[in-house]
Structure 1
């Protein structure tokens, strides 16, 4: 039985060209970038070249780009860095949403323990934030708004430009988690009303263990990690040179031909959903999230009459890799905080599966996946 990987929102395989770019920095070019000798200068140049390439592709200054160890670290650096910087001025309030990634939500919870005040905005039934709710939540001491670009569970896009314009008007920092958006959305950072934006390499066919954070030149945040003077004293620690080189190559490949890749993902989504409709009928599943303002590679479906853990087990047994989009704790799946925030019924929340497509999928795979899912559901529902 052919295995079918439909969990690209969790991670993607490293692109062959990315791996090829990285390999020399595991073996031939191994110097510490902080060393003053030729070996160190060689890897230091590689990091600078990668920074320049990413900055050019994403429309920012190289000085505005810092490398981190992950998307989670990028989110944490933005939130804790802004809080430390503005907390000294007596500003203790920040705004986020109920549907953020746990890298933001758990960081906010920690900041609350440190005495900061956090407002968690509601979303509508599609997972979108209302601009009027953002505005209503503003307080005199609000220093930061943090809203993700595209949701990692349901794919819904947020009104980033509108929220950013409001933040600029009020003199408030705006952070965006764009981990899922890079490669699907045209990002020109200098043209967006955004001060801080987080990224991760392994979501776009790059290596795990390396991320990025855009920090506008108009913004100063306190360091999150302390030690050496790497990343202009903003992020201490010896740089992951192979990962950084691979990240730059991954961004290059993601940006090149982005429109064609998005079209291909849309076609894969359509084939998958059409196949499911033929197998199950239009009432056999429910699409969760916004139908238009969404990422092209993520589709979250509920299958009434079954439950998430049963479906995931059966999918795995039938060679299909998918996800609930929620955390696994003590061997049992927690209900999705995103779907709960959207106000979906228990029946829909408890039967939701996230499928996410990528370049390892062809149309025949998606047709076969639909067929297998149909077989699974008929068996499970008949029981």
Structure 2
């Protein structure tokens, strides 16, 4: 049996239905033309396909499609949001608030902005990994121009109350950015009801292709950004470059499917979680990091006392694919900065692995993976060879 893939938080497989739509945009008999070439029929067909996808993505988050800017992924969307607002607002204020357990795509941009003369306050999450509205409110200053807090954490799956945080930020007059790469259309996200200003989205966390994402930008009241890429008037002048029709169409289809199948996907994920923990409950010394907080039904961060996460992941590698943290920091041997920000000592943080599953994970795969995980932990604890 090939390895059971439990690293959906890193990337999801592309749904077959999405892949078929993408293939229709690649070859001579498909919608292959440059969407910017609107002087001829093939170009207009490509432009129409892009606009349909823009509508699909925006509809999935209940946002105005005119505010959706396609990017190369959520990382670029984060860069455009943070640097764009900071650049446009720098004469009004140079203070930014974020959380210490944000994704590196936000934290590294904040560090770069510090070199550019901005001050950044990184609030600490609670022990369960959530960022409270009170902590954000306490960090705000008269010169705060931007707050960035993720919807759900990529390592622990903890979900922040971004609606409550948005009300705090709105009352202050700053802009509020949300990295929603881990949720997108898979979890209900209503940008209008939540009163969000900027939202970063990713396709490859939502059964779509890699290399495409989007930044949704509020139009009323209008959020102004300083463009970070120049070279044409694409995407309302905010992001230059020829649009990748096949990837954009893939993202649109992925988000439409995620929206229509949201309840079924969630029920399936919760069933798989129950099957996983039915096995884990037979072990002693299991810590469910983030327990007590609202979490994504398809992501759990688990630590096994006495077993290093790196050793466990290596022992499982050919049978069960798990992660020891964010894929963007997997080359690091340091304990997870996310868990450290939650107050865990280094030795405990080093025992954690992340397990994440999704639409294509079968019940048989999860039950096999759970049994393999329990057996491997037991063998490692007793110093036995792992088969």
* Shorter-chain TM-score above 0.5: yes
Partner of 2:233: 229
Alignment partner of 1:85 is 2:88: yes
Give the Å deviation of 1:344. Answer: 1.2
Partner of 2:116: 114
Give the Å deviation of 1:185. Answer: 2.0
**Alignment map for 1:217-366 (pairs within 5 Å):** 217=219, 218-278=222-282, 280=283, 283-317=284-318, 319-326=319-326, 332-366=332-366
Residues 332-370 of structure 1: per-residue CA shift (max 9 Å, x gap): 522111000001133320110000011221222111111
Q: Aligned equivalents of 1:155 and 1:367: distance in 2?
A: 21
Q: Aligned equivalents of 1:291 and 1:372: distance in 2?
A: 27
CA RMSD for the aligned pairs?
A: 1.5
Normalising by structure 2, we get a TM-score of 0.94
Is 188-197 or 290-299 further displaced after alignment? 290-299
Q: Unaligned stretches of 5+ in structure 1?
A: none
| Cα pair distance change 1:330/1:252, threshold 3 Å | closer
Partner of 1:3: 3
Residues 191-244 of structure 1: per-residue CA shift (max 9 Å, x gap): 112100000000010000000111000211111111111001011001111000
Residues 171-200 of structure 1: per-residue CA shift (max 9 Å, x gap): 110000001012332112221121000000
Partner of 2:167: 165
Q: Aligned equivalents of 1:327 and 1:358: distance in 2?
A: 17
**Alignment map for 1:11-26 (pairs within 5 Å):** 11-26=11-26
**Alignment map for 1:64-79 (pairs within 5 Å):** 64-79=67-82
Partner of 1:174: 176
Q: Aligned equivalents of 1:269 and 1:181: distance in 2?
A: 17
Partner of 2:58: 55
Normalising by structure 1, we get a TM-score of 0.95
Residues 148-169 of structure 1: per-residue CA shift (max 9 Å, x gap): 0000000011120111001111
Residues 91-150 of structure 1: per-residue CA shift (max 9 Å, x gap): 100100000000000000000011100000001110111222211111111000000000
Kindly tell me the number of residue pairs found equivalent between the two proteins: 378
Q: Aligned equivalents of 2:23 and 2:277: distance in 1?
A: 39
| Cα pair distance change 1:381/1:175, threshold 3 Å | same
Q: Secondary structure at the match of 1:143?
A: strand
Residues 260-290 of structure 1: per-residue CA shift (max 9 Å, x gap): 2212111111110111212x2xx33110014
Q: Secondary structure at the match of 1:202?
A: coil
Partner of 1:148: 150
| Cα pair distance change 1:82/1:188, threshold 3 Å | same
Q: Aligned equivalents of 1:175 and 1:186: distance in 2?
A: 17
Give the Å deviation of 1:328. Answer: 7.2
Q: Aligned equivalents of 2:157 and 2:42: distance in 1?
A: 44
Give the Å deviation of 1:327. Answer: 5.7
Residues 11-49 of structure 1: per-residue CA shift (max 9 Å, x gap): 011101101111111112221112232222221111111
Is 367-376 or 76-85 further displaced after alignment? 367-376
Partner of 2:141: 139
